[in-house]
């Protein structure tokens, strides 16, 4: 997590061209959201609900019980003892 943050700070936000590009993209996406208001809100709601649902699914998925090893009853016993 910290490695990705350091990469973002030092290699992306330091350069003025990439900073200008990122702020331009954020501004354009904000304009798109306001221009396509009802449609864009439906898309954003769908993306948020899909993310929350996938998080819920990952946290509440039932644990898989490991099957019993069928060869466990045939353990290698030393016959000389």
Whole-prediction pTM: 0.54
User: Above 80 in pLDDT, residue 77?
Assistant: no
Tell me if 33 sits within 8 A of 25, measured CB to CB.
no
Domain boundaries, the chain: 20-60
> What is the per-residue pLDDT for 11?
77
Total count of residues recorded for the chain: 81
**Backbone angles phi and psi of 60, in degrees to 5:** -110, 15
- The per-residue pLDDT for range 6-53, each reduced to its tens digit, is 887 787 777 888 888 888 998 999 999 999 999 999 999 999 999 999
């Amino acid at each position: 997590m910290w490695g990705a943050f350091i990469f973002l700070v030092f290699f992306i936000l330091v350069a003025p061209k990439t900073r200008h590009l990122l702020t331009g993209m954020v501004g354009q996406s904000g304009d798109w959201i306001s221009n396509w208001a009802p449609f864009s809100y439906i898309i954003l709601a769908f993306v948020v609900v899909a993310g929350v649902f996938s998080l819920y699914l990952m946290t509440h998925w039932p644990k898989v019980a490991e099957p019993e090893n069928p060869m466990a009853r045939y353990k290698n016993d030393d016959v000389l003892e």
